[in-house]
Amino acid sequence: MAEKNRKTNQNSYKADFIHSVRTKIVGAMVLAMVILSICLSVVLIRNLRIPLMEINQCYLYDLAVAYGANVDESIATKGYNTATDYNTLADTIGGIGLRGVESSYAYMVAEDGTMLYHPTKDKVGQPVENEVVQGVVEQLKSGVVPKPNVVEYEFKGAVKYASYYVSERGHSILVVSADKADLMKKVNQVTAIGTVCTIILVLLASIIGYFFISKIVNPIIKVTEIIGRLANMDFSEIEGQEKLTARADETGKMSRAVAELRSQLVNVVSDLQDQSQQLFEASDSLNTNASETATTVEQVEKAVAEISDGASSQADETQKATENVILMGNMVEETSQEVDDLISNANDMKKSSEEAFVTLTALEKINDQARQAIDVIYEQTNTTNESAMKIREATTLITSIAEETNLLSLNASIEAARAGEQGRGFAVVAGQIQKLAEQSNDSARQIENIIDSLIEDSEKSVATMEDVKKIMNSQNESVGRTNEIFAEVQTGITGSIDGITRIADKTRKLDEARINVVDVVQNLTAIAEENAASTEETSASVTEVSSIVYNISENATQLKDVATRLEQNMNIFKI
């Protein structure tokens, strides 16, 4: 019975033939092949039909021209009457026709339209019935000799092709005719063969495609069956799943995922079994604790009765304690007033502290300004250093010019000592000396500019230092203000100390009242000792009851949760 149910479930997982993926894929493939085959057939037949018709027309044309030339030659040799005799024409053109085309034949027409030769001998001597040939006869009568041609016409409901040749002198017309249906017979045969081949190819492709698609779809069907069994909470080992799991394609991944799902579900079922065991254990514990609770409750009732007797004696002494507590309460009110004054002083201290904070904040800003001024001094100092470097460079240039001037002066002296025309060299040297002197002047001016810049930077440094001085003075004032504020804070603190002193006096009085309370409490101690024993018993019993009740509550909660989960889970699983 179980095997029968399992097979029934397997069949329910399979889709019907029409809605199966396999049928859809094969159908799509066959439809695509059929459409492709039809398109190819239409294109091929269309492209084949036209060339074949053109070839047949060429054959008809060639036959008419070739045998027409033979008839012309026969007329030239034998004479018109002899050459156009029926028997002679039967020998000359009687066998003309396209091979394999039964409707193909030739006939001869005179220039007046009379039939000279026809395979049907009864038509000889009769007027030609072909409208095309009649048109050619009319052209001959008008003196026009038409050139050979191939025409299509309809004769007695049948479409025909005819090629005609007019003799050189226009005395006769050779016509070669054939039915279009016979000419297209070959094309129709090719079309039929192509259609049969296409059908065979489609069938073969469908069979092969069905085979390969089955190879692809069968694993999917198997995975679907496995998932269906899991859906019915059947977690038993599945035959053949190992092969699917070993596959490297997408179905293998699906199978591995399903196997992992099955493993997790098996773990869940095992956990449910463990919870079932816990449920039974919790039930036993709950029954035991319930019995112990009943016994403990009886003990609690006895202890409560003893506590009730001691409570009556304790009530009188409590009245005396109440009166003393009232006195202490009045003193506490006076203490509260002093505390209010203390709070007021504390508020004054708070305000002073806030002012000190504001002043310190201003001092911080001033310090920041001082830092910025120092930074400016640093930058001005760097500028001064750069100016000094420029002075050194100008000095170096002047030194170089001076050295070269000395050399030129020496050369000038030597040239001056010479006599004659060589004295002209002195003028050249003197010119060089003049140029060097000009360079020296330029360098001197550069030095002057640099010195001016240095002086200007120094003045800026002095001004900056003055700003720093002002800032520092302001900072000192702020510090002085801070001292004053903290002096006020000190005054507030002094007031607070006075208030605290008064609080201390009141506290001493409160302490005296406390002594009276202590005496009363001593009287209550005896009564409390009597209640102690009962209280201890009550405490022990209550503790035990609390523990038992807690265990009962905890076990009951666990029992409820376990029972709920077990009921929900076990209703859907089939184990």
Domain end marker among 214, 231, 246: 214
Instruction: Kindly state the average pLDDT of the residues 423-440.
Output: 64
Judge if 209 and 309 occupy the same domain.
no
Q: How many Cβ atoms from other residues are within 10 Å of residue 96's Cβ? A: 21
At 327 the pLDDT is: 63
Q: Please indicate, yes or no, if residue 391 is contained in any of the structural domains.
A: yes
**For residue 381, is pLDDT > 70?**
no
Domain end marker among 214, 240, 274: 214
In total, how many domains does the chain have?
Answer: 2
Per-residue HEC secondary structure of 43-108 comes to HHHHHHHHHHHHHHHHHHHHHHHHHHHHHHHHHHHHCHHHHCCHHHHHHHHCCCCCCCCCCCEEEE
Half-sphere exposure of 495 (CA within 13 A, CB side): 18
Q: Please indicate, yes or no, if residue 209 is contained in any of the structural domains.
A: yes
Q: Please indicate, yes or no, if residue 30 is contained in any of the structural domains.
A: yes
Q: Please indicate, yes or no, if residue 281 is contained in any of the structural domains.
A: no
The C-alpha torsion from 549 through 553 and 556 to 557, rounded to 10°, is: -170
Half-sphere exposure of 446 (CA within 13 A, CB side): 18
The token duo for 560 is: 């409820």
Q: Which residue has the higher pLDDT, 323 or 197?
A: 197
CATH number at residue 386: 1.20.1270
Share of the chain above pLDDT 70, in %: 45
Identify residue 297 by its one-letter amino acid code: V
Judge if 178 and 310 occupy the same domain.
no
Q: Which domain holds residue 118?
A: 21-214
pLDDT tens, 460-485?
765 776 776 677 667 667 666 766 67
**For residue 275, is pLDDT > 50?**
yes
CATH number at residue 176: 3.30.450.20
At 448 the pLDDT is: 66
